[in-house]
Chain A
Amino acid sequence: MLYIRCPYCEEYRPEIEFRHAGEAHIVRPTNMAEISADEMEEFLFIRENKRGIIFERWRHIHGCGRFFNCVRDAVTDQIIMTYKSGEPKPSDAEIEKAILALKEEQA
């Protein structure tokens, strides 16, 4: 059971309070009716599913009810950071910095 920090509540809570909501930063096209079959397939079905650092969405469904984003290492399950919906995708440098900070905290 993961231990997840809700960026709205600013609290750590056990995973059973949250509902996973799939890959993050998949933007719904504003011209939805006009996109091509390829674009539609990409939007609906194609997923990064990366064996490494991933961006995902969670909803604090049994808490504040908010959707938020999370950076997690899908190989170790370590959560690197969580941030609010609408905030920009963290850069590689920001992620590296956060990983370092976590290491220091543990040491």
Chain B
Amino acid sequence: MSGLYRIAGKGRLTPAKTVAFSFDGKSYTGLEGDTLASALLANGIVLTARSFKYHRPRGTMTEGSEEPNSMVGVHRDTARQQPNVRATMQEIYDGFQAVSQNRWPSLSFDIGSINSLLSPLFVAGFYYKTFMWPRVAWEKIYEPKIRAAAGLGLSPTEQDPDHYANKFAYADLVVVGGGPAGLSAALAAAKQGVSVIVCDENAEFGGALLYENDVEIDGKSGYDWAKDIESQLAAMDNVTILPRTTAFGYYAHNMIGLCERITDHLAVPDADSPRERLWQIRAKKVIIAQGAIERHLVFANNDRPGIMMASAARSYLNKYGVAVGSKIGVYTACDSAYAAAFDLKEAGVDIPVIVDSRPDVDPMLLERARELDLTVQTGHSVIDTTGKLRISGIKVAKNGQMANTKYDVDALLISGGWTPSLHLYSQSRAKPVWDGEVKRFLPENPVQDQVSVGACAGTDDLSEVISDAQSAALAAAKSLGVKKPKKVSAPTEINSLYGHSGDHIGSSHGAGADDAVKAFVDYQHDVVANDIRLAVREGMRSIEHVKRFTTTGMATDQGKTSNLHGLAIAADGLGKEIPQVGLTTFRSPFTPVSFGTIVNHGAGDLFDPVRRTPMHDWAVAQGAVFEDVGQWKRGWYFPQAGEDMHASVNRECKTVRESAGVFDASTLGKIEVVGPDAAKFLDIIYTNAWSTLKVGRCRYGIMTHEDGFIFDDGVVGRLAEDRFHVTTTTGGAAGVLNHMEDYLQTEFPELDVWLTSVSEQWGVIAVQGPKARDIIAPLVEGIDLSTESMPHMSVREGTICGVPTRLFRMSFTGEMGYEINVPADYAESVLEAVWANAQKYGACAYGTEAMHVLRAEKGYIIVGQETDGSITPHDAGLSWAVSKKKTDFVGIRGLMRDDLVAEGRKQLVGLKTKDPKVVLEEGAQIVADPNQPIPMKMLGHVTSSYWSENCGHSIALAIVEGGRSKMGDALYVPMIDRTIEVEVVDTVFVDQDGGRLNG
């Protein structure tokens, strides 16, 4: 048994395949192919949700993605808990579990419905007018209450175990929508040989033909005709068919975003299958065939469970074999609702009355109603409904009168006509055009390479829909360069009994400005007609103001059923025509899309690539603790047994100065600058001069932007007259190359220079310390390592361990040292050899922290730590590296600007704490008078600060206003709990004369 309301012989689901599912913990049986909505209706369950603000009982209104009411939580397991799922779009499977939302303690008894009693207070925008006294109460009392009452579903609380996929695709044509228009367009285009992607948000293609069983095309049922086209498309290599796939976004330059739902409808998904797939398609042409959405009618208490769109009820009957009630009233302003009434009546359901607000109705419909013995009340309206958790009756009055007749019903079908779906059209930045005759906004003025066909273009007649779609497809093919299009035949005979004529926009009889009733416009946000009138009364004249003030159209359904009603009521209040008030812009996504789908592969391990140096494994073997520096993992310190970070760093620092240390410097950026004009080019890029650098020597260089502020630094070696090996900071590598390319390509294209990034080609082993030469000497061939032959700041090419090397004698520690560049593939094996020798001398492996301490002991800056984009080379004490002879370099004019040459700029200095044991905090601020009141005058801040085991006291570098003129002065670092006295000192703490470098 799959529900009492399932009608034998109706619908297209297989009765044999039943599935067990539960809703709010209670078990039911449904059929395979059911949505949660159809399965619940089959079981006679109409109460599915509580509304957002008033917590009113609500039931399913629609049969599609426009559903405003039936939002549920779907629980597959504890981690897979999905809030805010539309029951109308969620297919059930065996074991499927759903729960209702926004209610406590239960759906049928919800304490929150007390809000409904207070609703006279809770009108649109009420919160702007109150909750202001006392001042603190907003945050402490009112806001938490409002927050607790608002919101819909519950957030998941566990990590998402599912994964998601992404596909970038290119297509000649993307067709959005798989109804008669979309299918016809896709087939017509596909026959011309162009590549086509066609998608539909539903599980099945066919659109309205899935339930309009009065349609016959060339002797086939509409359904069979659609299935036939679908199978033709499926057989074509140039066509991709995507069911359960929503076109959610239309972006610049004809890019369409699709979300393909892959596993949410499966009882046992393949563990390897992604849950959803994002498609990012660049389309040459787009045909939008999104169809139209049926509107409700705005009358008193039009939201009771059991009230739904007429087309939805017809669909539940003809697709799922479900009668949405046993005594069903109809209230319409549109012909299409009659079809629902007739189908239900023919299926044996009692239809007590059809109320049509139009005085004149197509005689054919009235005739058919008489044949079926149905009562039709034309020129009448439903002015109210009764019932608590389900509608129990309607009050029907003649238009303009309030005297009414009551009818008992357990469901009410409503139709206010059809709204062309302009979502994607609007997202493409095109403006909807109002057609006053048909009272519709139409997609008549596309701005991207796109065309709309079918119901979304306002076309109701099926033969016209099909021929328009085919013409659009042929026009697209032609414009794509198809010279001789193949003939596409249109159906010769199309019969359909019922049309879609008739509209009502705005409030209906009994819900006028003077009627104190709840006539819902936007169900999901509980916006009633009077809220919109209130907004107008309060001076909201733009529809955007009305929207924001009342929140109409801002719920998860983006007002798919409500926008036009809201607009009409606002226009009426303003005494303006609808187009004068204007339509709000639709925003992506068409329906909500999981974050996970947008993120797809960029989660977890693939969030951001990890960069490891070619010697990473060696560092791991040495027990390194790593730090993140940009995308790189760098060895931070190398603790030995029992050592904490502090002990490890102290040992590393001491060992380097006493013996030697080995350090992986591979992350430094490396750029090879080659060509006859290489030196000339570097003269432009760096503040210092390079033409004067001799082959075989290297030099420390500073780079500024045109503004004169330090941007990068590094050592550059001249390997030949026309060849330089440039190093950059780890983080700056890509930026420096881009900067160099920019100047080379666009400002100095006449220079004959080539730039090549070689950062990943060279592994770099730094060996630093008095024993450095002894350690590497046995391994090096073809290079005389003596200071006479290879002094500090020189570079040689030779071999080490038989591997070609660019050997730099340079130092970032103040010790004599080398940086051995070897091809990355050999780096680890060379390092092993170096390390074996190093250990003989008691050398250590050291990490970035020790490197930082050692360089700070020497007063060497780190760009990004001592500098911050507002520091000039002069500020940093590097005036010696700014050429006074060059007539041009990047930054030369920037450095001359008034403020950059002003007195009292912040300058780099050293700091010593009065208590040598106290280590300052990096980022701490420096003042002259610690007793001044707040706000204090700050002179600068501590940029680097460490315990120096070598000095036996703490050391710090700082940027201080007029710092170099304050040598010896006492300054203060105020902390939360104490003030630390410091003395301004030189930046060099170790080996001031630099003798050790030449050792």
Interface residues of A (CB under 8 A from B): 1-3, 14, 19, 21, 28, 32-33, 35, 37, 40, 43-44, 57, 59, 61, 65-67, 76-77, 79, 85-86, 105-107
Q: Return chain B residues, CB-CB under 8 Å to A19.
A: 738
Contact of A35 among B255, B738, B741, B893 (CB under 8 A): B893
Q: Which stretch from B33-41, B742-750, B939-947 is at the chain A interface?
A: B742-750
Interface: B252 (CB within 8 A): yes
0/1 interface trace, chain B 447-483, chain A, CB 8 Å (1 if under): 1010000000000000000000000000000010000
A77 to B448, CA, bound (A): 11
The residue that B888 contacts in the complex, of A1, A33, A61, with Cβ under 8 A, is: A33
B893 & A1 in contact (Cβ 8 Å cutoff): no
Residues of chain B in range 886-913 having any CB-CB distance to chain A below 8 Å: 887-888, 892-894, 896-898
Contact at B747–A2, with CB atoms within 8 Å? Answer: no
6 examples of A-B residue contacts, CB within 8 angstroms: A3-B255, A14-B168, A32-B888, A35-B893, A76-B429, A86-B749
Task: Give the docked Cα–Cα distance between A85 and B449 (Å).
Answer: 29
Is A1 within 8 A of B892, CB to CB? no
Across the A-B interface, the 6 shortest Cβ-Cβ residue pairs: A3-B253, A67-B745, A77-B252, A33-B892, A28-B747, A106-B449
With A61-B738, A65-B741 as contacts: A43 and B706 at CB distance below 8 Å: yes
B252 pairs with A44, CB closer than 8 A:
no
Most buried by A among B253, B706, B887, B893: B893
**A77–B888 Cα gap in the complex (Å)?**
37
Contacts of B255 in A (CB 8 A): 1, 3
Additional 13 contacts, C-beta under 8 A, given A1-B251, A33-B887, A57-B746:
A2-B253, A19-B738, A32-B892, A40-B897, A44-B706, A59-B742, A61-B738, A65-B741, A66-B745, A76-B447, A77-B252, A79-B253, A86-B749
Contact B745–A37 (Cβ < 8 Å): no
B509 within 8 A of A: no
B746 near A40: Cβ-Cβ < 8 Å: no
Assuming the contacts A3-B282, A32-B892, asked whether A67 and B253 have C-beta atoms less than 8 A apart, the reply is no
B480 nearest CB across to chain A (Å): 11
Q: How far is the CA of A12 from the CA of B894 in the complex (A)?
A: 38
Q: Could you say which residues of chain B place their CB within 8 Å of the CB of A28?
A: 747
Bound together, the chains give a CA A105 to CA B254 distance in angstroms of: 14
B677 at the interface (CB under 8 A from A): no
- State whether the Cβ of B94 lies closer than 8 Å to any Cβ in chain A: no
B707 in contact (CB, < 8 A):
yes
A59-B738, A85-B745, A106-B449 are known contacts. Are A33 and B254 too (CB-CB below 8 A)? no
Per a CB cutoff under 8 Å, which of A59, A77, A105 touches B253? A77
Contact, CB under 8 Å: B746 / A85:
yes
B639 to chain A, nearest CB (A): 40
Closest to A35 in B: B893
What CA separation (Å) do A40 and B449 show in the bound complex?
A: 43
Q: Shortest beta-carbon distance, A106 to chain B, in Å?
A: 5
Contact residues of B between 720 and 765, Cβ < 8 Å to A: 738, 741-742, 745-747, 749
Most buried by A among B746, B887, B894: B746
Contact of B742 among A32, A40, A67, A86 (CB under 8 A): A67
Q: How far is the CA of A69 from the CA of B888 in the complex (A)?
A: 25
Query: With a CB–CB cut-off of 8 A, which chain A residues contact B253?
Result: 1-3, 77, 79
Q: List B contacts of A67 (CB < 8 A).
A: 741-742, 745-746
B365-392: CB near A (< 8 Å → 1, else 0) gives 0000000000000000000000000000
B residues with a Cβ closer than 8 A to A are: 168, 251-255, 280, 282, 429, 447, 449, 479, 706-707, 738, 741-742, 745-747, 749, 887-888, 892-894, 896-898
The listed residue (A21, A37, A85) touching B897 by CB distance below 8 A is: A37
Query: Which chain B residue has the least Cβ–Cβ distance from A79?
Result: B253
Nearest CB in chain A to that of B251: its residue: A1
Chain A proximity of B739: nearest CB distance (Å): 11
- CA–CA, A14 to B251, complex, Å? 12
Contacts of B893 in A (CB 8 A): 32-33, 35, 40
* Contacts A44-B707, A85-B746 given; does A37 touch B898 at CB 8 Å: yes
| A58 to B: closest C-beta gap in Å | 12
Q: Which residues of B contact A43 (CB under 8 A)?
A: 706
> In whole angstroms, how far apart are the Cα atoms of A3 and B282 in the complex?
8
- Bound together, the chains give a CA A59 to CA B251 distance in angstroms of 22
A39 to B251, CA, bound (A): 39
B255 to A: closest C-beta gap in Å: 6
Residues of B within 8 A of A32 (CB): 888, 892-893
User: With A and B bound together, what is the CA distance between A76 and B428 in angstroms?
Assistant: 10
Among B251, B253, B747, B892, chain A packs the most CB atoms within 10 A around the CB of B253
Complexed CA–CA distance, A54 and B742 (Å): 20
Q: Distance in Å from the Cβ of A46 to the closest Cβ of chain B?
A: 13
Residue of A nearest to B282 (CB): A3
Q: How far is the CB of A105 from chain B (nearest CB, A)?
A: 8
In the complex the two chains form, what is the Cα distance from A79 to B252 in whole Å?
A: 10
- Please name all residues of chain A whose beta carbon is closer than 8 Å to the beta carbon of B745 when the two chains form the complex: 66-67, 85
- B479 CB → nearest A CB, Å: 8
Residues of B within 8 A of A79 (CB): 253
Contact partners of B897 in chain A: CB under 8 A: 37, 40
Question: How distant is the Cα of A2 from the Cα of B251 in the complex, in angstroms?
Answer: 9
CB-nearest residue of chain A to B757: A65
Q: Which chain B residues border A40 with CB–CB below 8 Å?
A: 893-894, 897
Residues of A within 8 A of B168 (CB): 14
Q: How far is the CA of A44 from the CA of B254 in the complex (A)?
A: 35
Contacts of B251 in A (CB 8 A): 1
Complex interface: chain A residues within 8 A of B747 (CB): 28
Q: How far is the CA of A92 from the CA of B409 in the complex (A)?
A: 70
Chain B nearest CB from A74 CB (Å) reads 12
Q: How far is the CB of A91 from chain B (nearest CB, A)?
A: 21
Note all chain B residues with C-beta closer than 8 A to A2: 252-253
